[in-house]
Amino acid sequence: MRSETIQLTTGARPVVHDLTTDCERFLSSTGVGDGLLSVFVPHATAGLAVIETGAGSEADLLSLIDRLLPIGAGWGHRHGSAGHGRDHVLPALISPSLTIPVVDGRMQLGTWQSVCLVDTNIDNARRTVRLSFLEG
């Protein structure tokens, strides 16, 4: 299995960060053929999604998270900024891992699909993403 980590700084506001180019670069640099790409974010307050980007879906997703997991909902987990408890619930709804089929070294995403990091935690702007390729 080939594996590497990438480091990101997401900033001081919730964000949907497109990782598709990073994933393509990883696959290209390893010279892979067919197999599975695993994308994993080892954080208790972030997740991964396959969505369309560039047409407003990022803002729509963050808006949905705000409605489903409102900052002022009286979260039991209380350290950090206001509403930080919701950040710890996020990975239960938006998984911290994805598996993507790869054929001839290319992710088999649909036309409008992108691999994205979803991060609502403004207390920790430094993120690690692990990319791993399992040949098949």
Which of residues 20 and 82 earns the better pLDDT score?
20
Q: Mean pLDDT throughout 90-96? A: 97
Q: What is the pLDDT of residue 30?
A: 86
60-82 burial by CB neighbour count: b if 16+ within 10 A, else e? ebbeebeeebeeeeebeeeeeee
DSSP SS3 for 2: strand
Tell me the pTM: 0.94
Q: Is the pLDDT of residue 24 over 90?
A: yes
H or E element in which residue 125 lies: none
Q: Mean pLDDT throughout 62-89? A: 91
Residue 95 φ/ψ region, left for φ over 0, alpha for ψ in the -120 to 50 degree band, beta for the rest = beta
Q: Mean pLDDT throughout 45-58? A: 96
CATH of domain 2-135: 2.60.120.460
